[in-house]
Structure 1
Amino acid sequence: MTPSVQSVETEDEYIHVRFRDPDEFDTIRTPDWAAHAAQDVSEGSEVRTGKQKDSDDWEVQSVLIKKQVGEDKARDEAKQIVEKIES
């Protein structure tokens, strides 16, 4: 099941679309493989993944979409990226 969007904030070059609280994770990374998967949906986007506390599972914490697309489109594209990665 795809997580719901918790917040959308524009900062610097990116719109941060948060799906999970960063405090839920021991470690957060921006892996290349996730960025490659995201490129098909939104060019230049990045995906931050987190490793759950007491678990070996990695989940999408947030997606960073280039600011030019606007917040509404960023929210839609971020959802598509999470569905692609977590399905």
Structure 2
Amino acid sequence: MADTPDINKVETEDDYIHVRFRDPDRYDEIRTPEWAAQPARSVSEGSEVRTGKLEGEDEWEITSVLLDKHVGEETAKDQAREIVDKIES
């Protein structure tokens, strides 16, 4: 995976705050991998990580982190960065 990108969008929808790092429209395929659940949930219970794969590439990149909306948007940004750092280090 590449260097940790900057957050480019934060949206609260339904039960989650979506902290987006990369535009999902860039990707040929998006997944919520099970291997990312443990590091994500070690930072924030119930969080999920979405990854995307560019067409013709083998590498997957983190596109966004979903956190329970009760944490609030500012805390969600901090926790999302911590999750991405934990996975990409």
TM range (shorter): over 0.9
Aligned length: 87
Partner of 1:85: 87
Percent identity of paired positions between Structure 1 and Structure 2: 64
C-alpha distance in structure 1 between counterparts of 2:18 and 2:28, whole Å:
20
- Select 2:60's aligned residue among 58, 67, 70: 58
Structure 2: tracts of 5 or more residues without a match: none
Partner of 1:2: 4
C-alpha distance in structure 2 between counterparts of 1:46 and 1:31, whole Å:
9
TM-score by length of 1: 0.95
Partner of 2:43: 41
Following TM superposition, the consecutive aligned residue runs of length 4 or more in structure 1 with deviations greater than 3 angstroms are none
TM-score by length of 2: 0.93
- Residue 5 of structure 1: SS of its match in structure 2? coil
C-alpha distance in structure 2 between counterparts of 1:83 and 1:52, whole Å:
21
Q: Residue 53 of structure 1: CA displacement?
A: 2.2
Identify the range of structure 1 (9-18 vs 50-59) with the bigger mean alpha-carbon deviation: 50-59
Partner of 2:18: 16
Q: Residue 78 of structure 1: CA displacement?
A: 0.3
Q: Which of the two has greater strand per residue? A: 1
- Residue 8 of structure 1: SS of its match in structure 2? strand
Q: Residue 25 of structure 1: CA displacement?
A: 1.0
